Structure 1
């Protein structure tokens, strides 16, 4: 089966995030998880659009009834799975009337999902994992596409960890930041745009077709590195979760019309691997540094070399001439006798004498300085074409991405640009230093002494 058009996927994403501030990553992850047949947990305080995302997700799927409940420790099974059938009880059968309840839902939103009692959580385990529900003596297949759970915090009780693990994608959400606060205050309510919903037949076809997506050697290597990075943080990831992550990556690639998972697809792994919201930033840094290769570089060795040459130029440009005492006396005499009336003439004379105060250098000395600078400029400038090509390749790759959040894409772009700008600025400083050495006063009568090279440091 062919992948959906990019325009259609983009419209589904736009429908989820329209009018929501700083929710690009959450909207994309909620939709991608559902299209991959996985469940999502939104972790954050009330009033952060968690339920709104779930309701909007429901509109993305045709023929998928929506079910929503706030769970508490007093929630009864009847509230989720339906009341007992009195007619079935008359026939000694223990069955529920499930129409309109969770076993018949396509998209469900369970708020405060970890507050439910153990009986409900145990029943939910089978429903979420196998998409099946035990109704009396019969195990029924359910049409469940995805459950969006919400919680203020990650559960700490060991008894809840199995249920917590059923949510493949875990997205921390918080209130808007300072940059978006003004927009929040003036945000006008508006209905999200209508979208062409995904039919059950399309979803089944897409899930089957994604299995043809190749997990290339570079992606496998990146996942090996991710496993090591997770272990270094004390994060334990089950084999099942690794397999589910691969399915999510394949869905992301397939729905963008690609036949192979690429390292940039790994932007979503922090939301799958992290066991706690506090672990997400470090894993995001890993993605920027390793798969994306977009950590900003500041070239400290080159900075030290530039500063060393700048100091050497300042020293050599300000050293007095060997006959500096005589020239200084002439300059003082000119200032004493010039007077204010002869200000213009004094400036001319002073400039001439100050020029004479500067030490002169042999052409061999200047040539040695320029040769060392040319070697440094060549070495420092060697990565420049590669950096420019890498930036262009990143721009081309980002232009094809639908799932990568715009804020993260801009960060990757800005980091590469910053590295390039840093190197270009240092090369400009080296060019200015070279021009400064070339402009030093020369005297061909001086001994042809080659100076000691400027020490550049480690």
Structure 2
């Protein structure tokens, strides 16, 4: 894990926390939504992790004319054999990059619902299991609204994390410019895989064995329930959100080299795990509040177990 983090940080400058959270999302068995302005390295981050983890990697550019079958696959008629044949789509891979996912229509976005939750795809009534591991990294641009279709709450809830990429510090940007090489040279600098699908499954079993005390379980459920009681939040976090915080805190503790979870682990993963699951009330939006602010207020209001 340390070698993977070092390799990713050698390519991605000023995104140390997001790099760790992306890897934690993979180890926790979830999916990650990357949001940021153009040119911040969202696609590069996904491709770098895919190179390091080994296995199959597919990239789908979401566009308004993309159809569900372009992702899941479909049944076609084979004239040579005079029979119907099932053609599996790009979703049958270990790491799927759904680039600019909010540019496709709701029908196409919904094609990923079954795959992300149940790790399977149904084509013409026949269910096909997806490879294990199966990890979706989706990207979206928050400043480009024309020709986009915002993800519905049911789709957002299937992402373990929503990571927000911001501009790097000037020192990191200086390093980035010094290390820049032309695109043709970048294609030759592929990273050697440090993991395999089998090793990913083994790491996930280790994450599942991370110890979480009962007091911390109660702390997580208290945080989740607190979001449902606030009059500034129209739709609070679901029980699935509590599971997301639990698994994410285990994965973060594993990356830190510990066999147990601490309250600080929970606090750190709470914001990326909950920010996309809360629906603010109209009054809170008028006041300029954001989900990150309300999550921080909730964390401050709940006593930390000792």
Question: Structure 2 length as normaliser, TM-score?
Answer: 0.77
Task: State the distance in 2 between where 1:103 and 1:158 align.
Answer: 21
Counterpart in the other structure of 2:138: 149
* Whole-angstrom distance in 1 between the partners of 2:151 and 2:35: 19
The structure 2 residue matched to 1:44, chosen from 31, 36, 41, is: 36
After TM superposition, give the deviation of residue 153 of structure 1 in Å: 2.9
Please identify the structure whose Cα radius of gyration is greater: 1
Task: Report if the CA contact (8 A) 2:30-2:135 is conserved.
Answer: yes
Q: 1:6-155 residue pairs with structure 2 within 5 A?
A: 9-62=1-54, 64-82=55-73, 84-87=75-78, 93=84, 95-98=85-88, 101-143=89-131, 144-153=133-142
* Equivalent position of 1:273 in the other structure: 274
Q: What is the CA-CA distance between 1:149 and the residue it aligns to? A: 0.3
The separation in 2 between residues aligned to 1:292 and 1:18, in whole angstroms, is 36
1:259 Cα deviation (Å)?
A: 2.9
CA distance in structure 2 between the aligned counterparts of 1:209 and 1:21, rounded to whole angstroms: 29
Moved more, 151-160 or 264-273: 151-160
CA distance, structure 2, for counterparts of residue 147 and residue 250 of structure 1 = 20
Relative contact order higher in (CA < 8 Å, ≥ 6 apart): 2
Give 3-state SS (helix, strand or coil) of 1:198's partner: coil
Cα deviation code 1:256-285 (max 9, x no counterpart): 443321112121110001127943356458
Report the structure, 1 or 2, having the larger strand content.
Answer: 2
Distance 1:185 1:291 in 2: 45
Match of 2:264 in 1: 264
Cα offsets for 1:13-71 (capped at 9, x unmatched): 11222132221121111111112211000011111100001101111223x21111211
Greater helix fraction, Structure 1 or Structure 2: 1
Unpaired runs of at least 5, structure 2: 279-288
Shift of 1:79: 3.1
Distance 1:207 1:75, change over 3 A: same
How far off is 1:75 after superposition?
0.9
Does the CA-based 8 Å contact 1:264-1:292 persist in structure 2?
no
Matched, 1:166 2:154: no
The one of 213, 216, 241 aligned to 2:213: 216
Corresponding residue number in structure 1 for 2:253: 253
Consecutive unaligned residues in structure 1, runs of 5 or more: 1-8, 294-458
CA contact (8 A) 1:171 1:271 kept: yes
Aligned counterparts of 1:27 and 1:158: Cα–Cα separation in 2: 25
- Change in Cα spacing, 1:183 to 1:210, as seen in structure 2 (3 Å) is closer
Deviation at 1:129, TM superposition (A): 1.0
Q: Residues of 1 paired with 2:197 and 2:79: CA distance?
A: 31
State the Cα RMSD in Å.
3.4
2:291 counterpart SS class = helix
Q: Does the C-alpha gap of structure 1 residues 273 and 67 become closer, same or farther in structure 2, counting only changes over 3 Å?
A: same
